[in-house]
Amino acid sequence: MAPSSLRSWWHSLRHSRPLSGSVASNYRLDPTEAQRQIDRIPRFRILVMGRANAGKTTILQRVCNTTDQPEIFDGKGKKVDTGAVRGSLERGYHNIEDELVFKSNPHFVFHDSCGFEAGSEAEFDEMKKFVTDQAKAMKLEKRIHAIWYCIPLNESHRMVMAAERKFFNECDTGHVPVIVLLTKADTLNLDAVQELMRKGLTVDDAMKEAPEVEKQLQKGCLEKIRGWLNELKFPPQSYLILTGMEQEGADCEELLKCTANALTEEGLQGLLISSQQSNLGLCMEFAIMKTLKRSMNKGADHIQLDGLPYGLGVWFPFQPIKCGSYSFSIPTLSMSRQPFLLVLAEHAIGCVIVLEYLFFQLQVKDGSNKRKDLQQHLTEIVRKYQKSGVQNTVIENIAVAFKQHGESVDDFCTMLVGIAQANQICKTYFLPQ
């Protein structure tokens, strides 16, 4: 099992969009309270919903990069006998208060909707009370932060049933975003093959043409479901088609990005992105598109280069580093002197690459995360970045991107994401043993 990831730190919460109606005042912490609470959030909580055999367990396993079953803890943190509830996540019959945690990544906590989809009014009321209580919890660490509602596409004749209509008509989740996940989308491949064969294609030709038709069928299902649910009182914030989830090591990047973009507090976005350990490229993307982009929009008079690494580091899986109790430094990694936007980009992308490699190095070194070693690690990585040729390549690429898109911060930052990800040190260089 991989070493436990290091925890991230936060400096601020930002509100990316307001809630409408009276829900906002009831469910949202004010910025001052959120600032006070943010360092106390140890794990990202997700309520997973959907009928039995919707592929819920498989999705959670892929997110946590494991094939093992989760450990189950009751609402008080006491471990539950998994033998008594084996397979309960797929069947959907257990206490919604139970926490499902995978050893491979204990920084995610999952709750299951406990079978209300089967038609039990009592279990629906229990689920609704749980969602409402969690949404109103004043302590952020007690809240559920997102809801994944799984709808399987292998039963295309009954994609939206009474349970879905009841939930999206009656359950106000407040600030907690609901993302509808269209699972088992790969099963539409057979439908695509059969459709093509009905048009006269041979089996071999139909199988060759099936992927494109399959995408069209998936899109058609998405549009139908979106049309049905968006007419209800509390429609979901986002929809996402999931494919390839049956494969070990399936890419969950789009799922994580979709969830992060649905969150209303940037601090929670940081918690989600930094909780996942298998895609540091995603950490780099959010560091650039959130922290760096915001810094660029502020202008030279409001930015201090020596403080930028902390803001970028929010998106990486590091242990908490409290401002004032411990500090680290990364020297200015820019080679240009002006314009400031170019200077900022060169330094920030260098920092992102250094921070990405820092996590990789700490993991290789058996998860060593002693604070006294952090600055030493950083110094060694900065030296490697500067002397390996990576910095020169990055500077050259940034100069080209700035010449092409320097007048648009949005386009420029998008280019910078590609530059940073293409120059990850861990992809090219091996660590000394």
Mean pLDDT of 408-421: 96
Q: Residue 366's pLDDT is what?
A: 47
pLDDT digits (tens, 9 = 90+) for 215-238: 999 999 999 999 999 999 999 999
175, 135 contact by CB (below 8 A): yes
Minimum mean pLDDT range among 67-71, 112-116, 192-196, 216-220: 112-116
Q: In the chain, what are the domains?
A: 23-275 (3.40.50.300), 280-427 (no CATH)
280, 424 contact by CB (below 8 A): yes
Residue 354 has pLDDT above 90, yes or no: yes
* CA–CA dist 51, 113 (Å, integer): 9
Q: How many CB atoms lie within 10 A of CB 10?
A: 22
Only one residue has tokens 């949005």, namely 410
Mean of pLDDT over the chain = 81
Q: Residue 117's pLDDT is what?
A: 63
* CA–CA dist 196, 48 (Å, integer): 35
H/E stretch holding 202: none
Q: How many CB atoms lie within 10 A of CB 16?
A: 12
389, burial (CB in 10 Å: exposed 0-12, middle 13-18, buried 19+)? exposed
100, β-bridge pairs: 72, 110
Q: Is 88 helix (H, G, I), strand (E, B) or coil?
A: helix
Q: Residue 6's pLDDT is what?
A: 28
Q: How many CB atoms lie within 10 A of CB 106?
A: 15
72, 79 contact by CB (below 8 A): yes
Distances (CA, A) of 148 to 55, 180, 307, 308, 393: 12, 6, 36, 33, 41
Q: Closest Cα partner for 126 from 149, 96, 156?
A: 96
Q: Is 317 helix (H, G, I), strand (E, B) or coil?
A: coil
Q: Is 58 helix (H, G, I), strand (E, B) or coil?
A: helix
Q: Residue 364's pLDDT is what?
A: 63
Strands across the sheet with 99-102, in order? Answer: 71-73, 99-102, 105-112, 44-50, 146-152, 178-183, 238-241
30, 46 contact by CB (below 8 A): no
% of the chain beyond a pLDDT of 70: 78
pTM, two decimal places: 0.81
320, 5 contact by CB (below 8 A): no
Token pair in block for residue 395: 């500077």
* CA–CA dist 258, 237 (Å, integer): 10
Residues 6+ apart with CB under 8 A from 165: 228, 232
* CA–CA dist 289, 349 (Å, integer): 11
Q: Residue 158's pLDDT is what?
A: 81
Residue 269 has pLDDT above 60, yes or no: yes
* CA–CA dist 385, 383 (Å, integer): 5
For the chain, how many helices (H) and strands (E)? 17, 7
Residue 14 has pLDDT above 80, yes or no: no
89, 112 contact by CB (below 8 A): yes
pLDDT band, residue 303 (cuts 50/70/90): confident
| Ranges 136-140, 160-164, 400-404, most confident | 400-404
Q: What is the DSSP letter of 290?
A: I
Q: Omega of the bond prior to 339 within 30 degrees of 0, cis? A: yes
- Buried-exposed string 189-208: b where 16+ CB fall within 10 A, e elsewhere: bebbbebbeeeebeeeebee
pLDDT band, residue 279 (cuts 50/70/90): confident
Rg, the chain, Cα only: 23
Mean pLDDT of 367-393: 80
pLDDT band, residue 138 (cuts 50/70/90): low
Q: Is 228 helix (H, G, I), strand (E, B) or coil?
A: helix
Only one residue has tokens 């990202």, namely 44
